[in-house]
Structure 1
């Protein structure tokens, strides 16, 4: 069964990504990479996996619809491939695998998808209700701009989601492992309602695929997505060399990837030493 790993990367993250590819390098696993237009595209290689850098390259800005467009670009490129991939995994270039290649291939059989849902967020609707006119501004880094946009929307009584009142809005981690059937549903959907929003990359797939909500994992939406992420020690925590034993304990369990890591040496230590 062929699988596609979709990578969002930028800056100097390529050394970590190369180590991830080294671990999962296999004829049945290929990599589709979007590298932020602001940075030089790195030289990434594999012995067995195919490596595809998607285009056009976008200028990705945190919290804007450019993140959604980057993900969709990756999904479209992989979905239309003649390889007929059965699973699609979205990661960042600073994530590391927590499964060796044989375990990874056995774990993912294409029968189900893995997506996290945060059912405790009361303000999620505001992310898509208001109109954010700029895709080149990180609104978290510019709180004054955010305040101006929100006040303007409230003054004009903007509620873009009103016409979609039959649709509930859900939130969760933007990292996922989806099978081909669910990717097809995402690509066939009307995505315009998620553009010009705030952090809607954590909203759009959960809202399009609400049937994947596993209520048994409401307390840990990252676990539902098979991602090992620690929000208690950081935003999120950056795993260090001192965390090798912690990561070894969850290797080849029910976590596919850990996010984020500080150095490619950590992957070597967890897998090879």
Structure 2
């Protein structure tokens, strides 16, 4: 029996998190939860009581900030915790507002049929040049800047960037040819997971104090690794289903799906989608996902 590890990063919508775990709950799955340390209303005991599973593990919290290294650090901490516990066939990184679109039988059969492939997303346009712009300079203070368009820390960070540009700083010149960008959500094998973990010092050297590096690190490491030829995009010859997750960037950043959207998404080929509104929590959605025929 192949075992899968679901690595979940969350910061709110606890009822939705409960529902996500309930819909994924299966003897073949373990769950590793990273709750943003800024979340003050999370009740660990409530989650463990409301979701009937013995395979639920909590990973030490991190203060996750948008655009900062901390988001990748959260992913890495989850990978380290899961891989140290046991060997899994696949490690799936999700957020707490994601949803599976298929039953666990369908999902496990899919990955069994594609065992060894790495489901990592690469942008289809200008990926390497954008990754280079985000990583060549030291984005100091990004942790305090976040998404803010105007703040003291943003002004100070941008002034520092001006001096770096004058000095022609390029901290990634040694790996520039490997740089790539895509979605940070992935499904990867145990071998590639251990490869990433083993590169922690390398990752900090080149990606700490960069900008939105969680969308760059895994793609770049896959390009550098002996697992590059195992990228799923090489098999299906499509940029649509690289990580088997559907995000709608045409209607939002990304668009928030509702319960009504689920039924159409369920009929498609994707295995997961993000993000969903709280109305997804419903018995009819649960019944669909727990039906082994779906």
TM-score normalized with structure 1 length:
0.89
Q: How does 1:45-194 map to 2 (within 5 A)?
A: 45=48, 46-55=51-60, 57-81=61-85, 83-109=86-112, 110-121=115-126, 122-142=129-149, 144-145=154-155, 147-165=158-176, 167-189=177-199, 190-192=202-204, 193-194=206-207
1:155 and 1:267 map into 2 onto residues whose CA distance is: 56
Extract unaligned runs of 5+ from structure 1: none
Output the CA distance in 2 between the equivalents of 1:18 and 1:264. Answer: 13
**As a proportion of its length, which structure holds more helix?**
2
Contact 1:248 1:270 in 2 (8 A): no
- Tell me the equivalent position of 2:251: 233
CA distance in 1, matches of 2:147, 2:125: 21
Aligned residues: 263
Distance 1:154 1:125, change over 3 A: same
- Secondary structure of the 2:130 match is coil
RMSD, aligned α-carbons: 2.0
Q: 1:270 — aligned with what?
A: 285
- Out of 217, 222, 232, the position equivalent to 2:238 is 217
Q: Which stretches of structure 1, 4 residues or longer, exceed 6 Å deviation after superposition?
A: none
What is the CA–CA distance in structure 1 between the aligned matches of 2:119 and 2:99, rounded to whole Å? Answer: 17
**Cα distance in structure 1, aligned partners of 2:105 and 2:211:** 39
Normalised by the length of structure 2, the TM-score is 0.83
Matching of residue 208 in structure 1 with residue 221 in structure 2: yes
CA shift for structure 1 position 213: 6.9
Residue in 2 that maps onto 1:10: 11
With 140-149 and 127-136 compared, the bigger mean Cα shift is at 140-149
